[in-house]
Amino acid sequence: MEQLELLQKQGFQTGLVAAKVMKSADFDIDSWNKLGILQEGEPIPFVVKYHASKQVDEWEIILMDFANMKNLNLIIKQKAVLSAGTLRAIAKQLFEGLRFVHSKGFVHGNIRSENVLLHCPSGSNHVIVKIVGIDMVKPEERREREIYGETIYSLKRYLSKAPEQVIGDRKVDAKTDVWSVGVVLFQLAGHEHPIKATSISDLLNFIRQKTINRPSTIQDNLLWDLLIHLLAFDRTKRLTAEQALQHPYFTGPQAQLEISAEAKQVASSALQAKQNGNKTIQPSLPVPQSYSSSQLIPAFNTTWKLSDFKKLKKIGRGRFGTVFSMQEIRTQRIVAIKECDYDTEELKSMMNREIEVMKDIIRIIRQSAHQSQFIHVVEPLGFFVNEDEDKAYLVMELCSGGDLRGYIKNLQRIGAEIGAKKCWEFVSSIVSAVYQLHVNGIMHMDLKPENVLLTEDIKVKLADFGLSRKLQQGKEYLTHHGGTTFYLPPELLRAETVQVGAAGRQPQQKRMQTKGADIYAIGVMLYELLAQHHPFIGNDDESADLSELEIVRRIVDEEAPELPSHYPDSLRKLIKAMLSKDPSRRISAEEILSIPEVAANLGGQ
């Protein structure tokens, strides 16, 4: 339970994190404290950030950045043929990360392809590399392992180490890190290891000969020149990370012609990080077809089959379908797939409408002058039906942080409350997302915690647009339009209190629906986030014991109880304004975005 709380509490602040577990007896607290140097100032995206550590029984749990794809070793094993621009971008990011580590006085000491992770940032169609694996083992334990490794796994262990670590003084410094990066790049470009050895004696002979042969797969002369300077047997002639970044392979005319505008952004990302902060950067990398999410998914793919995916787990269920996380077998990318019945004209119309609305929303937002850097809408990636044509599958990007309902339940489970600062972040994110819709004339019409999805870094993306429609001024819609009753505003529910009588339900009345309905739903969700219960269903109530008529009556006639007093007045007043019974007096998304606390949050994104 203690370990679970650590993971959850950290996740509330940083988003999805990875946990490394090691024996506390092996954990070197001095090395951990030194890691704090890497966290000072603005980080760069090419080095994994370590967030926290905690001892649980005999184990040390270390929380760090989460990378949502596999490591670079997979590309090497596949012997993937990388384009010149792809290889250059990977190399550039590795040296940017290594230069950052060395500039902080750190030596990695264990760079290999398994310690270079691949990550697709939220809201981006690009992949970056992240260096991980900095040693936190006590020196005496590390030496004991090295002695064991020399007798058991010596050859494999030393193939990625610099010559001086094998037969020299065994000094580990910045130059040994550069050698290790050279080995990784050689493997990526040459599809083989630079050291040809099947035994320790072969390895020693290879080092004494001081010759590395050029494989036929490395045709680029500048790349080869860079590699032989990275893999120089004399460490004094080996490049530093800073010098490597100035090599003509990265700065020459051919590189300037070949690297796209997005790859140039990668090249200058460290400088951007210092100037703007990491939140505003989405460094790009053109990567091989099996990893590039921009190549991975066409504009909208309709050629997929169910056999193209491996089902992982069920992640949600709604009125119209079940959502699973699935992995595309060819590319190994994990996506969300909504499975729905598709055997009646009504169901087909509903599914087709949701797809078209989602595509339309994405298109409008991307083309709009009001577009922000981050799109707050779950993106549709494809659609297909099964062979019997009775099931339909909508493929969407996966939001790995769960949904707002799960977030609230996690708070309840560990007995925690959300802080005011974090709540303002949610206000900013959710209202900004809805504003993207409203400014483009779209109403969501079914906002609820289950439809507010969270990315791994707790950014908001809206989902489930089956009830959305283009906003038509003066248009009247049926009161009971299909939205969830708990989140419908009083003006849409007022007729319900008189529609149910002894004679049964009367014909539905038409009521005016405006953008204020979405604002009301956000107010209900924010109230739940702070109070951890619905404003009109208290902790002592069980929603299953309340009739729909009673819930409707409370929403229409009663005022929501006051929120806990320890939250700022400005936050409580905002939520009260969003829950106004009178839609004409209800605060708008534009007005909310002008509130200082909201504007400050949005200014930092």
- How far, in Å, CA of 175 to CA of 109, rounded? 10
CA distance 594 to 578: 15
Point out the least confidently predicted range of 53-57, 282-286, 412-416.
Answer: 282-286
* Residue-level pLDDT at 529: 95
Pick the more confident residue, 270 or 98.
Answer: 98
pLDDT score recorded for residue 15:
65
For residues 520 and 139, the model is more confident at 520
CATH code of the domain occupying 73-287? 1.10.510.10
Measuring CA to CA, how many Å separate 69 from each of 18, 128, 492?
12, 10, 45
- Write down the pLDDT at residue 140: 54
According to the model, what pLDDT value does residue 299 have? Answer: 57
CB 271 within 8 A of CB 247: no
Buried b (16+ CB within 10 A) or exposed e, 491-522: bbbbbbeebeeeeeeeeeeebebbbbbbbbbb
Q: What is the mean pLDDT of the chain?
A: 78
Q: Which residues, at least 6 apart from 173, have a Cβ–Cβ distance to it below 8 Å?
A: 107, 235
Residue 355 CA, chain-centre distance (Å), reads 23
Task: Establish whether domains 73-287 and 298-396 are of one fold.
Answer: no
**If phi over 0 gives left and psi between -120 and 50 gives alpha, with beta otherwise, what is residue 441?**
left
CB 530 within 8 A of CB 573: no
Residue 179 confidence (pLDDT): 94
Among 265-269, 280-284, 459-463, 567-571, the range of highest mean pLDDT: 567-571
In one-letter notation, the amino acid at residue 441 is G
Q: What is the CA radius of gyration of the chain?
A: 28
pLDDT band, very low/low/confident/very high, at 560 (cuts 50, 70, 90):
very high
* Both tokens assigned to 536: 């009109």
Interatomic CA distance for residues 118 and 70, integer angstroms: 6
CB 231 within 8 A of CB 207: no
d(CA 316, CA 298): 25
Residue 455 exposure: Cα atoms within 13 Å on the Cβ side = 21
| Spatial CA neighbour of 516 closest among 550, 487, 478 | 487
What is the token pair recorded at 77? 């094993």
β-bridge partners, 462: 377, 452
Q: Is residue 419's pLDDT more than 60?
A: yes
Q: What is the pLDDT of residue 408?
A: 93
Classify domain 298-396 at the CATH topology level.
Phosphorylase Kinase; domain 1 (3.30.200)
Rounded CA-CA distance 605/601 in Å is: 7
Task: Find the length of the chain.
Answer: 605
309 contacts 326 by C-beta, under 8 angstroms: yes
Residue ranges of domains in the chain: 73-287, 298-396, 404-603
Contacts of 492 (CB under 8 A, 6+ apart): 479, 481, 483, 511, 513, 517
Q: Whose CA is closest to 477, among 427, 515, 524?
A: 515
Rounded to 5°, angle at Cα 78 from 221 and 21: 110
Q: Does residue 311 have a known ligand-binding role?
A: no
| Buried residues in 35-74 as b, exposed as e (16+ CB within 10 A) | beebeeeebbbbbbbbbbbbeeeeebbbbbbbbbbebbeb
Q: Residue 421 and residue 573: Cα distance in Å, rounded?
A: 16
Q: Which residue has the tokens 């707050």?
A: 376
Amino acid identity, position 145: R
Least-confidence region, from 55-59, 243-247, 498-502: 498-502
Is pLDDT larger for residue 557 or for residue 292?
557
The better pLDDT of the pair 197, 176 is held by: 176
Q: Is the pLDDT of residue 456 over 70?
A: yes
CA distance linking residue 564 with residue 219, whole number of Å: 67
Instruction: Say whether domain 404-603 belongs to CATH 3.20.20.150.
Output: no
| Best CA proximity match to 444, nearest among 460, 424, 459, 455 | 460
The structure tokens listed for 9 are 């509490």
Distances, alpha carbon 307 to alpha carbons 289, 333, 385, in Å: 20, 15, 12
Inter-residue contact 68 to 91 (CB < 8 Å):
no
Helices 516-531, 404-413: axis angle to 10 degrees equals 20
User: Which of residues 169 and 150 earns the better pLDDT score?
Assistant: 169
Residue 525 confidence (pLDDT): 97
pLDDT at 594: 93
| Positive or negative torsion for Cα 187, 188, 189, 191 | positive
Beta-ladder partners of 309 = 328
- Residue where the block lists tokens 């990080």: 273
Q: Which pLDDT score, from 0 to 100, does residue 86 have?
A: 84
Written as six digits, the tokens of 513 are 């629906």
Report the distance separating Cα 538 and Cα 534, nearest Å: 6
Report the pLDDT value the prediction gives residue 308, as an integer from 0 to 100. Answer: 95
For the chain, helix (H) and strand (E) counts, in that order, are 26, 18
The H or E element containing residue 226 is helix 221-230
* CA pair distance 431, 577, nearest whole angstrom: 14
Nearest to 389 by CA among 346, 335, 348: 348
pLDDT in tens, 201-250: 888 888 888 888 899 889 888 999 999 999 999 989 999 999 999 999 99
Q: Are 568 and 419 in contact (CB under 8 A)?
A: no
pLDDT digits (tens, 9 = 90+) for 293-309: 333 334 588 899 999 99
The alpha carbon of 108 is separated from its chain's Cα centroid by a whole number of angstroms, namely 26
